[in-house]
């Protein structure tokens, strides 16, 4: 699709482009409430999503000590004995430990690839046994599955604190997304009143760079609204640019790598890109990653935004509850979710083409 432009905020390239391709957006002025900073950052955000689907986020305010702790805790968790990790094995809520898959999920098989070479541990919003969603066994709203405190002291408190820090940042960033789409600044607030949030703590063993059949994480698009990857000392992320080229995303000190997912693409009537990406850890050493996913509330209705449709460009997708979409997506991507009853392709996107180039 051709990028749309706005008369309210120009879509000119930001002043700093990493590798000449990916915008660097500094939000420190916006977070500090400086006059005009929100509009400038929103213009850069619009350019990023209409042309690339990724950007680097600077001036975010997340302390480096918090990021260092998240990486250190990922290494500590994955160093636990396998039996300890399997005691909190991933479940139908996509919470817990996921070993390296035995067979490729549908999206990897469709690309002729072997299973992704990574193991991961998933956390969601912390809940108590008495929480109504826990009592009712609501999908994706179960309690987190924590390893025994004696096995990894302080782990739980550190990770709950990190997720709280990230959720607070995302609550501010969604207002920039609204402005970038010519919507009132508070437009998304209700949809993110209690967002789905996932912290994925991954460990990638080194792979043979000459073997094209295996990736650390196969090419894919994300399901949701916003993914934030803190700066990583071991590179491996590759981005499939809209012109088809694969770009190795360099590490930028103090800057998160941020991308949108398929629900943002759908919500904006395909105006904002959901760009495929993959991980190939050919560094010769272990690589850890701690992506944080921030998505709409479970019951948020994803319906074509008013600023993204017109008589000439009608809505391409019917409204859908985010929780239903998330369940359908998970069933396509994870072996342990494949047998979960989920909405069908026809229910998710009747009459519309697949959401992205790497949908399945």
Predicted pLDDT at 344? 59
Predicted pLDDT at 59? 98
Whole-angstrom distance, CA of residue 128 vs CA of residue 211: 45
Q: What is the pLDDT of residues 65-85, one digit of tens each?
A: 999 999 999 999 999 999 999
The answer, as to whether pTM is greater than 0.95, is no
Q: Which CATH architecture has domain 61-348?
A: Sandwich (2.60)
CB 304, CB 272: distance < 8 Å: no
Whole-angstrom distance, CA of residue 17 vs CA of residue 279: 21
More confident residue, 46 or 103: 46
Whole-angstrom distance, CA of residue 320 vs CA of residue 348: 7
Predicted pLDDT at 356? 43
Looking at the predicted structure, is the pLDDT value of residue 42 above 70? Answer: yes
Whole-angstrom distance, CA of residue 200 vs CA of residue 153: 19
Strand partners, 357: none
Question: What's the average model confidence in pLDDT over 25-39?
Answer: 98
Q: What is the pLDDT of residues 260-276, one digit of tens each?
A: 999 999 999 999 999 99
Instruction: Give me the chain's average pLDDT, please.
Output: 90
Looking at the predicted structure, is the pLDDT value of residue 150 above 70? Answer: yes
Q: What is the pLDDT of residues 179-194, one digit of tens each?
A: 999 999 999 999 999 9
Whole-angstrom distance, CA of residue 356 vs CA of residue 344: 17
Looking at the predicted structure, is the pLDDT value of residue 225 above 70? Answer: yes
By C-alpha distance, which of 201, 194, 173 is closest to 289? Answer: 201
Question: What's the average model confidence in pLDDT over 29-34?
Answer: 98
Domain boundaries defined on the chain: 61-348
């Amino acid at each position: 699709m051709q990028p749309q432009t706005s008369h309210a905020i120009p879509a000119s390239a930001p002043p700093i482009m990493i590798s000449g391709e990916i915008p660097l957006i500094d939000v420190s002025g916006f977070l500090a409430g400086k006059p005009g900073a929100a509009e400038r950052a929103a213009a850069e955000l619009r350019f990023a999503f209409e042309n690339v689907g990724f950007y680097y986020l600077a001036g975010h305010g997340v302390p480096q000590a918090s990021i260092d702790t998240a990486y250190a805790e990922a290494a500590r968790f994955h160093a636990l004995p396998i039996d300890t990790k399997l005691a909190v094995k991933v479940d139908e809520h996509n919470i817990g430990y996921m070993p390296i898959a035995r067979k490729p999920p549908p999206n990897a098989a469709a690309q002729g690839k072997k299973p992704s070479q990574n193991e991961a541990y998933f956390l969601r919003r912390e809940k108590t046994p008495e929480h109504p969603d826990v009592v009712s066994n609501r999908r994706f709203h179960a309690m987190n599955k924590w390893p025994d405190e004696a096995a990894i002291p302080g782990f739980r408190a550190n990770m709950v604190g990190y997720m709280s820090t990230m959720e607070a940042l995302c609550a501010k960033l969604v207002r920039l997304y609204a402005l970038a789409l010519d919507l009132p600044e508070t437009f998304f607030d209700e949809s993110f009143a209690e967002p789905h949030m996932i912290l994925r703590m991954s460990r990638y063993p080194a792979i043979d760079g000459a073997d094209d059949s295996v990736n650390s994480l196969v090419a894919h698009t994300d399901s949701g609204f916003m993914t934030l990857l803190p700066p990583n000392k071991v590179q491996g992320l590759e981005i499939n640019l809209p012109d088809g080229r694969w770009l190795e995303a360099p590490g930028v000190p103090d800057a998160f790598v941020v991308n949108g997912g398929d629900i943002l693409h759908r919500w904006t009537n395909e105006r904002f890109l959901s760009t495929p990406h993959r991980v190939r850890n050919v560094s010769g050493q272990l690589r850890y990653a701690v992506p944080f996913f921030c998505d709409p509330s479970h019951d948020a209705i994803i319906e074509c935004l008013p600023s993204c449709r017109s008589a000439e460009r009608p809505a391409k997708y019917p409204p859908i509850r985010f929780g239903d979409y998330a369940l359908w997506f998970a069933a396509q991507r994870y072996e342990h979710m494949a047998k979960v009853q989920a909405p069908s392709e026809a229910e998710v996107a009747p009459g519309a083409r697949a959401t992205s180039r790497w949908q399945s």
